[in-house]
């Protein structure tokens, strides 16, 4: 191990190699060669995921976790054909006008009468590449719902769709967005794409090119989970974006935590100085609303105003909200 910790000096400079180790024992964990290798790989996978732990001895829970993930990925391959995915929508309230100006689209998976959390299946879909067809399905369905809302008279409504880094980096992503708009007969101005800062980790020039193309077509762009990324400010000045979404981790306890209040205040001031709209997600308490109003944050989203609802409930909610606002 001491040898591995030493630097490697080459004609191109000095390099350091970080090693992770996973191992298992025989006969405690198995006596079969193939099984031992499988268990060692499971332990290695666990060690590589933990930045503070470079050694990992196999535990059966590691194998169970990998098997569970593999089973979910197999089931994910058929979710669209089996019609197991469905969308829910969370209204976004404009604080100054007290009107719904946007709606975020969220995906859910119902498998054998069980709702599987997006936190469980979205990372697996991203890892396996299945997020590309799933993301296209979400985009198409969201555009169809947006078109229905426009036809009901909500001509300025903007429906937001989350885009994963792997989906965004796919060569046909931009084409799939325009195809979804054409299929639904929806104007680009009624669609917003939410991206995370993770999309800039690779191929920065290509990312900016795609964003500018989408923006020039009339689609709105926002950065999701703002403040949690690795280089927010360095990219912000070059991105053709319209909105920053303040991550809910800063909102959840802002009524008790001065550091969170400072962060939220700073993000709002930064966004406004750049001419961007600001929306806070995860708003659950009236004190959150009062605080955000005092900062002149533009929009809010969260259980204080509405939980995510299915399409039929959304149409009814919009109808009641419009009547109340007028």
**Which band of pLDDT confidence, cut at 50, 70 and 90, is reported for residue 316?**
very high
In terms of Cα–Cα distance, which of 88, 87, 101, 143 is closest to 318?
101
Q: Let me know if residue 76 belongs to a domain.
A: no
75 within domain boundaries: no
Domain-embedded: residue 69: no
Distance, CA of 273 to chain centre: 25
> Does the pLDDT at position 49 exceed 80?
no
- 227 and 109 in a common domain: yes
- Residue 193's closest CA among 234, 225, 172, 224? 224
Residue 2 has pLDDT above 60, yes or no: no
What does the pLDDT average to over 36-54? 77
What confidence score (pLDDT) does residue 72 get? 84
Write the burial class of residue 159 (CB in 10 Å: 0-12 exposed, 13-18 middle, 19+ buried): buried
Provide the pLDDT for residue 95.
96
First-to-final CA distance of the chain? 71
pTM, entire model = 0.84
* pLDDT tens sequence across 152-199: 999 999 999 999 999 999 999 999 999 999 999 999 999 999 998 778
Domain that holds residue 197: 84-325
- 98 with 38, same domain? no
pLDDT at 230: 57
CA 118 – CA 107 distance, rounded (Å): 7
Same domain, 31 and 116: no
- pLDDT tens for each residue of 260-307: 999 999 999 999 999 999 999 999 999 999 999 999 999 999 999 999
What pLDDT is stored for residue 97 in this prediction?
A: 94
- In tens, the pLDDT along 7-29 reads 677 777 777 677 888 888 888 88
194 phi, psi to nearest 5 deg: -100, 120
d(CA 318, CA 155): 13
- CB contact set of 100 (below 8 Å; sequence gap of 6+): 91, 92, 93, 94, 154, 157, 318, 321, 322
Number of domains in the chain: 2
| 279 in the same domain as 218 | yes
Can you name the residues that pair with 301 across neighbouring β-strands? 281
63 is a domain residue: no
Residue 262 lies in a domain: yes
For the chain, percent of residues with pLDDT exceeding 70: 94
What CATH number corresponds to the domain at position 151?
3.20.20.450
Q: Is residue 26 one of the residues assigned to a domain?
A: yes
User: Is residue 68 in some structural domain?
Assistant: no
Length, in residues, of the chain: 326
Task: Please tell me whether residues 93 and 49 are part of one structural domain.
Answer: no
Instruction: Output the pLDDT for position 24.
Output: 83
Strands (E) located in the chain: 8-10, 13-15, 21-23, 55-57, 85-94, 99-111, 114-116, 158-162, 191-195, 220-226, 243-246, 277-281, 299-301
Residues 160 and 265 in one domain: yes
Contacts of 267 (CB under 8 A, 6+ apart): 226, 227, 244, 246, 250, 278
* Higher per-residue confidence, 59 vs 316: 316
275 and 181, same structural domain?
yes
Return the pLDDT at 227: 72
Residue with tokens 């929508």: 89
| pLDDT computed for residue 4 by the predictor | 57
> Does any domain span residue 77?
no
């Amino acid at each position: 191990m001491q040898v591995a910790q030493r630097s490697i000096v080459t004609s191109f400079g000095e390099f350091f190699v970080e090693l992770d180790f996973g191992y298992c024992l025989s006969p405690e964990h198995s006596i079969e060669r193939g099984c031992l290798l499988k268990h060692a790989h499971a332990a290695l996978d666990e060690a590589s995921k933990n930045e503070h732990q470079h050694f990992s001895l196999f535990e059966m829970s590691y194998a169970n976790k990998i098997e569970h993930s593999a089973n979910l990925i197999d089931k994910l391959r058929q979710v669209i054909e089996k019609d197991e995915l469905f969308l829910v929508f969370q209204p976004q309230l404009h604080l100054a006008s007290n009107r719904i100006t946007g709606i975020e689209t969220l995906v859910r998976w119902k498998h054998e009468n069980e709702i599987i959390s997006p936190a469980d299946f979205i990372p697996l879909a991203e890892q396996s590449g299945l997020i590309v067809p799933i993301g296209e399905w979400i985009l198409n369905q969201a555009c169809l719902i947006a078109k229905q809302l426009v036809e009901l008279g909500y001509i300025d409504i903007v429906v937001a769709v989350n885009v994963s880094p792997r989906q965004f980096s796919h060569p046909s992503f931009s084409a799939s967005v325009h195809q979804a708009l054409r299929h639904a007969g929806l104007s680009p101005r009624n669609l917003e794409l939410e991206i995370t800062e993770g999309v800039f980790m690779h191929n920065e020039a290509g990312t900016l090119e795609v964003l500018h193309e989408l923006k020039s077509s009339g689609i709105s762009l926002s950065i999701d989970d703002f403040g949690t990324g690795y280089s927010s400010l360095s990219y912000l000045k070059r991105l053709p974006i319209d909105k920053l979404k303040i991550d809910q981790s800063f909102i959840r306890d802002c009524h008790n935590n001065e550091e969170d209040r400072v962060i939220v205040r700073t993000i709002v001031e930064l966004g406004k100085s750049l001419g961007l709209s600001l929306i806070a997600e995860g708003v659950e308490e009236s004190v959150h609303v009062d605080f955000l109003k005092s900062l002149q944050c533009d929009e809010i989203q969260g259980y204080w105003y509405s939980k995510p609802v299915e399409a039929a409930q959304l149409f009814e909610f919009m109808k009641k909200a419009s009547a109340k606002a007028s």
